[in-house]
Amino acid sequence: MCGICGEFKFDERDFNDNQLTNLMNSIASRGNDSKGTFKDKNIFLGHHRLSIIDTSKKSNQPMRIDDMVIIFNGVIYNYKEIRNNLVKKGHIFNSSGDTEVIIRLYIEYGNECVKYLDGVFSFAIYDIKKHNLFLARDRIGIKPLYYSLNQNRFIFSSSMSGLIRKGDNIQINPIALQYQFTLHSVVPAPHTLINDIHKLEPGHYMNITKAGKSYINKYYNVNEVGVENKNEEDILEHSKYLLRKAVEKRINIADVPVGILLSGGLDSSLITAIAKKYKDDISTYSIGFNTINEEVGNEFYYSDIVAKDFQTSHIKYNIDDKELFNNLDLVISNMSEPMVSQDSSAFFLLANKVSRHNKVVLSGQGADEVFGGYFWYEKIMRDKESKEIETLSKYYFDRSFDDYKNIVNSKYIDGNHVHDDISKLMNEMSPDLTTLDKVFRLELSMFIIDDPVKRVDNMTMAHALEARVPFLDIDLITFMLSVKGSDKIKNTSKYYLKKLSEDYLKEEIIYRDKFYFPVPPLKIIKDKFYDYCNKILNSDAALNRDIYNRKYIDKLLHEPNENFTNLNGNELWHFTLLERWFQLNIDVKI
């Protein structure tokens, strides 16, 4: 994985060197093996490389082939197959990596090149002769791509910080703000919290002409996957096969060692067990925090069992409250967008330590969304009385629209966008789908990308650590969406994943209670963590920004551990994190 950025000018003005430096700095942490730029009259392309496949200089970027120049972030798992087909068509390769495969695929097929790619990616290709810029993002949106477009220029980056002119009078997007407080910091593309900064949607590509015209096209839509009648034996056999293939290619397609983030839960334990079939020497890593009251801070007991059973080289990191507290600002300042989940800090701190040993790790994100692991799925399935959007709102939204109107300044309220947008999406899906089936599609087209996936990519790549997610393999996703949602959670959550795990893991790992990645000091807020929240929410910056209803803030500060969202997030921490993100990423001048 890497970081990409660029600017495409539509006028005769010179590039702003400070802006270009800010762009390159915004992606610097994503790759420290090499960096490069390409600059012509109207185009600037920048790249920071984390060398994973073909670690030689031949795969450094920007890469130019004839009149095409590419910058690429991601990994293409079927690049060798594509390369062989292109060789048959007469292409002669200069490198052995996946970057050159993409650019030659574009030369051969143009915009349609994305349909041949099995992988995760965001990339840009500039045609020097035609003065056309082509950008694309993978089907699920695992790799980020932010952009801003006006009459003078188009600018883009793997990190939103590269597009923010700190200290300017930046306007908050009211639609995104409602999403932020309704879907636990999920702000779906194309929105971001900042007006005029956007995200290219998953499964889309974009063309920008020298005249400044932009054209965005969708090439994949996960919501169009239909449900089919399947028997249990076929579901188990095929899902097991697809998961094995997903793990195999993610652990084998790398020219550097690949480790595993092992929490001790079912998902990462199963990945470890399958990976051991393909690699004998595997390093695994776990992280834990101090326990507070009933909030247990680690799963070391279970990760130790798995590490011993599969003879991995296992390292545990225990983070005390002091280390966590001292890193809070660093965690938040490295967020492209504000992410309120407690485990953002966990991934950041774990990645910092793991990156000293590995460049690539496998992670268990996506299993709950693909196989049905969350407690709200059963509630949604059993609710037969409410409308689809009302059912989702009841069990998934952090708060109702009426409650939302009571927590923010009225100037940010101009309609119930979340309700209307998601209701429209659900109505556009096949009427043959149940509410639960539609929720699974929303999870994989919207919710997961701008919450756990964004969180993991952002926090690990802050330390140039590539996290690969086998459960979000596109073939596995497509197959499991074709399985009835009610079947996925029959008798128990993640029914099929638990059944197929019986071939790999002990029952005490498979059938124990679900344990969410814990960071207790950010859920039970007290002592210096409370003082941190209090200071931020009562600061001059917060008061002048005037986003929140002050009476509600006073209530949260008076009752710090009595106000939780539907998904058990501490509201005080959510409000604090958003305000601190603005302070660290918007207010500070460069």
3-state secondary structure 288-341: EECCECCECCCCHHHHHHHHHHCCCEEEEEEECHHHHHHHHHHHHHCCCCCCCC
Element (H, E) at 419: helix 417-428
Please give the average per-residue pLDDT across 499-520, as a whole number.
Answer: 88
Please give the average per-residue pLDDT across 332-355, as a whole number.
Answer: 93
Beta bridge partners of 65: 68
Give the full edge-to-edge strand order of the sheet including 132-137. 63-65, 68-76, 119-127, 132-137, 204-208, 214-218
**How many other β-carbons are positioned within 10 Å of the β-carbon of residue 111?**
15
53-57, 222-226, 275-279, 345-349: the lowest-pLDDT one: 53-57
Instruction: Name which of 250, 271, 247, 268 is nearest 75 in CA terms.
Output: 250
Residue 148 tokens, joined: 């801003």
Please give the average per-residue pLDDT across 74-80, as a whole number.
Answer: 96
Instruction: Name which of 567, 580, 495 is nearest 236 in CA terms.
Output: 495
98 CB contacts (<8 Å, ≥6 apart)? Answer: 53, 54, 72, 75, 76, 79, 119
Bridge-based pairing of strands 34-39 and 204-208 is: unpaired
482 CB contacts (<8 Å, ≥6 apart)? Answer: 225, 226, 227, 228, 230
- On whether the CB atoms of residues 253 and 118 are closer than 8 A, the answer is no
Which pLDDT score is estimated for 168?
67
CA 461 from centroid of its chain's CA atoms? 11
- On whether the CB atoms of residues 185 and 565 are closer than 8 A, the answer is no
pLDDT, tens digit (0-9, with 9 covering 90-100), for 366-399: 999 999 999 899 999 999 888 999 999 999 999 9
How far is the C-alpha of 155 from the C-alpha of 169, rounded, in Å? Answer: 19
Which pLDDT score is estimated for 343?
87
**How many other β-carbons are positioned within 10 Å of the β-carbon of residue 528?**
13
Question: Which pLDDT band holds residue 54 (cuts at 50, 70, 90)?
Answer: confident
Please give the average per-residue pLDDT across 24-31, as a whole number.
Answer: 93
Element (H, E) at 243: helix 232-252
Which pLDDT score is estimated for 589?
52
Please report how many Cα atoms fall inside a 13 Å half-sphere around the Cα of residue 519, on the Cβ side.
Answer: 23
Answer whether residue 447 shows pLDDT above 80. yes
Domains and CATH numbers, the chain: 2-220 (3.60.20.10), 224-370+442-517 (3.40.50.620), 525-587 (no CATH)
CA angle 223, 225, 228 (to 5 degrees): 140
DSSP-derived letter for residue 194 is B
| Per-chain mean pLDDT for the chain | 94
Residue type, 472: L
Residue 229 tokens, joined: 């009648």
CA 307 from centroid of its chain's CA atoms? 27
107 CB contacts (<8 Å, ≥6 apart)? Answer: 65, 66, 68, 91
CA dihedral 335, 337, 342, 343 (to 10 degrees): -60
Which pLDDT score is estimated for 590?
40
Q: According to DSSP H, which parts of 16-98 are helical?
A: 17-26, 79-88
62-71, 461-470, 512-521: the lowest-pLDDT one: 512-521
How far is the C-alpha of 358 from the C-alpha of 376, rounded, in Å? Answer: 36
Query: Prior bond to 338 cis, omega within 30?
Result: no
- Report the SS3 class of residue 453: helix
Question: Which pLDDT band holds residue 506 (cuts at 50, 70, 90)?
Answer: very high
Question: Which pLDDT band holds residue 449 (cuts at 50, 70, 90)?
Answer: confident
215-224, 274-283, 291-300: the lowest-pLDDT one: 291-300
pLDDT, tens digit (0-9, with 9 covering 90-100), for 202-230: 999 999 999 999 999 999 998 889 999 99
Question: Which pLDDT band holds residue 445 (cuts at 50, 70, 90)?
Answer: very high
Question: Which pLDDT band holds residue 535 (cuts at 50, 70, 90)?
Answer: very high
How far is the C-alpha of 68 from the C-alpha of 52, rounded, in Å? Answer: 23
What is the pTM assigned to this prediction?
Answer: 0.96
Residue 226 tokens, joined: 């239909």
**How many other β-carbons are positioned within 10 Å of the β-carbon of residue 376?**
15
Question: Which pLDDT band holds residue 1 (cuts at 50, 70, 90)?
Answer: low
Answer whether residue 546 shows pLDDT above 70. yes
Distance between first and last Cα of the chain: 27
* Burial per residue of 63-99, b for 16 or more beta-carbon CB atoms within 10 angstroms, e otherwise: bebeebbbbbbbbbbebeebbeebeeeebeeebbbbb
Question: Which pLDDT band holds residue 514 (cuts at 50, 70, 90)?
Answer: confident
DSSP-derived letter for residue 160 is G
Residue type, 367: A
Q: What is the total residue count of the chain?
A: 590
How far is the C-alpha of 181 from the C-alpha of 577, rounded, in Å? Answer: 12
Residue 286 tokens, joined: 């776990």
Q: What does the longest C-alpha to C-alpha distance in the chain come to?
A: 71
Element (H, E) at 177: helix 174-182
Answer whether residue 38 shows pLDDT above 60. yes
260 sits in the region (left: phi over 0; alpha: psi -120 to 50; else beta) called beta
- On whether the CB atoms of residues 226 and 482 are closer than 8 A, the answer is yes
How far is the C-alpha of 380 from the C-alpha of 546, rounded, in Å? Answer: 36
- On whether the CB atoms of residues 266 and 497 are closer than 8 A, the answer is yes
Please give the average per-residue pLDDT across 42-70, as a whole number.
Answer: 92
How far is the C-alpha of 341 from the C-alpha of 568, rounded, in Å? Answer: 10
Instruction: Name which of 105, 222, 137, 150 is nearest 474 in CA terms.
Output: 222
Which pLDDT score is estimated for 588?
66
- On whether the CB atoms of residues 75 and 120 are closer than 8 A, the answer is yes
Residue 163 tokens, joined: 């597009």
pLDDT, tens digit (0-9, with 9 covering 90-100), for 139-172: 999 999 999 999 999 999 999 999 997 656 789 9
Which pLDDT score is estimated for 56?
84
